[in-house]
Amino acid sequence: ELKVEQNPLFLSMQEGKNYTIYCNYSTTSDRLYWYRQDPGKSLESLFVLLSNGAVKQEGRLMASLDTKARLSTLHITAAVHDLSATYFCAGVRNRDDKIIFGKGTRLHILP
């Protein structure tokens, strides 16, 4: 049964710093998604990672996937306040292709 675990669940950091959010999953997943959710808003798709070694970047966010380690990371470079949000990763359960979400990482960037 696919389980998706994120850490940390809460993160408060200063502007200008770098940090990484980790997403571990328990069994094989064909792909890995990252979403952003602002308070009171819906989810916005950030990245879809399809294969081992995949790396995608947009602005100050970079996501990578290591299928052998069953690990995806979301790296934040030189954080700015606008990146404050909750970030979810999600994997795909192989037996029925259902998307399983992690609990989310609530990121608060202090100005």
* Residues near other proteins (CB under 8 A): 30-31, 33, 35, 41-45, 48, 88, 90, 92, 96-104
Nearer to other proteins, 42 or 111 (CB): 42
Strands (E), the chain: 4-7, 10-14, 19-25, 29-37, 43-49, 55-58, 61-66, 71-76, 85-93, 98-101, 105-110
Nearer to other proteins, 4 or 109 (CB): 4
Q: Which of 97, 104, 102, 105 is nearest to 31 (CA)?
A: 97
CB of 71 to other proteins, least distance (A): 18
Nearer to other proteins, 6 or 64 (CB): 6
CB of 103 to other proteins, least distance (A): 4
Nearer to other proteins, 43 or 71 (CB): 43
CB of 45 to other proteins, least distance (A): 6
Cα–Cα distance for residue pair 20/76, rounded to 1 Å:
6
